[in-house]
Amino acid sequence: MDPLTGRIVLGPNRYGKAENRVVRIYRDTVRHEIRDLNVTSSLRGDFEAAHTAGDQRAVLPTDSQKQTIFAYAATHSGGSVEDYGLALARHFVDDIGPVSSARIEIEDFPWERVGDHPYTWTRTGPEVRTAAITVTGAGDTRREWVVAGLKDLVVLKSTGSGFAGFLEDPFTVLEPTDDRVLATSLVARWRYADTAAAWDRTYAGVREVMLDRFAALQSKALQQTLFEMGRAVLEAFPYLAEIRLQAPNKHHFLFDLDRFGIPNRGEVFHADDRPYGLMHVTVQREDAPDAGSAWDEYTGAA
C-alpha cells in the first residue's frame, strides 16, 4: 500500500483520577452505616493544547479531582451511589470550564452487619455493585446516562442444564450432553431510561430477578440463559432501556473415575481455570432512548 501522508493529529482523549478508595461512615446516630467505594473520574473537553504544546491552562489536575471526590463524599452523601456519581459528573461539566463531558465509575463493596452490632461489619461478596454515570453538554445539549450493574456474581447450578444439537465442523469433538454443571461469574449492567430512579431498590430487584431466572430455567445453553435473564429484568423494570450481560462459561469437567472402578454420576468435577467460553449478550427494548456515551468505558482494558 502507499504510505499515509495525512497530518498527524490528536484524536479522542480523556483523563481522570482512577480508584479513589473512599470509605464513608454515617455516624449521626448510635447505629452507624458504612459505604465503601472505589471511585474513578474521567473528563473530556478542550485539552488539545495540553497534548500538543504541554500547556496545562485548561487542565484540572487529577489531584483536584481526587479532592473533589472525597469532599463530595461528605457533602453529597445522602443518596445512592448513582446520585453521588451524578453530583460529581454534573459538577465537573458545569463548574470546570474546559470540561465538556464527565464520567464517574464506581465500585460499591457490600458489607454486612455483625449480628445487629451498631458499628461492626464484615465484607460480603465476592460480588460488587457498580455504577457508571456520564454527563455531557450544557443547556439544550445536556445529556445524562446512568448505567448500574454488578460484577463477580458467581452462580452455579448442578443440574438443569444441557448443551446439544450444535453446529459441528471438522474440529468438533465435543459430545452433546443433557445434564451438566452450569456456572459463571456474571457481569451485568443495565441502562436506565431516566436519571431519577429508585436506584437501590432496582439494584436489589434486578439481582433477584436474574438469580431466580438462572435457577428456574432449564438451560439449553448459557446464551439462552443469559438472554432469558435479561428479558426477565426488562419485563420487570419498565424504566430500563437495555441490559448487557457478560459471562464466562466456567467449565466443570466430570472427572474420569471409571478407570478406577468408581462410578461418577455427575458427582466429582474438575473446575478448570482456562480456557473458558465467554459470552456477551445484550437485551434491549425497541423504544429505548439512544445510548449515546453510556457504554463508553474508561477503566476497562480498552
Which residue reads 446439544 in cell numbers? 164
Judged by CB under 8 A, does residue 201 bind a second copy?
no
Judged by CB under 8 A, which of 68, 80, 101, 136 binds a second copy?
68
Residue from 51, 62, 151, 220 carrying the catalytic annotation: 62
Q: Residue by residue, what is the 3-state secondary structure of 71-106?
A: HHHHHCCCCCHHHHHHHHHHHHHHHCCCEEEEEEEE
| Of the residues 29, 57, 139, 290, which one makes contact with a second copy according to CB under 8 A | 57
Distance CA 90, CA 75 (A): 14
Q: Which of 17, 66, 91, 252 is catalytic?
A: 17
Give catalytic status of residue 251 as yes or no.
yes
Indicate whether 205 belongs to the interface with a second copy (CB under 8 A): no
Q: Is 223 helix (H, G, I), strand (E, B) or coil?
A: helix
Q: Please give the helix or strand (H or E) that residue 152 lies within, else none.
A: strand 143-157
| Comparison of 42 and 202: residue with beta carbon closer to a second copy | 42
What is the 8-class DSSP label of residue 247?
Answer: E
Q: Which of residues 121-140 bind a second copy (CB under 8 A)?
A: 121-127
Q: Is 236 in the site for a second copy (CB under 8 A)?
A: no
Check binding of 292 to a second copy (CB under 8 A): no
**Residue found under cell 455516624:** 27
User: Is residue 143 at the binding interface for a second copy, with CB under 8 A as the rule?
Assistant: no
Interface with a second copy, residue 288, by CB under 8 A: yes
CB of 140 to a second copy, least distance (A): 19
Q: Which residues of 23-53 are buried (b: 16+ CB within 10 A; e: fewer)?
A: eeeeeeeeeeebbbbbbbbbbbbebeebeee
| Pairwise CA distance, residues 210 & 206, whole Å | 6
Residue 280 binds a second copy, judged by CB under 8 A: yes
- Nearer of residues 66 and 129 to a second copy, judged by Cβ: 66
Task: Kindly list the catalytic residues.
Answer: 17, 62, 251
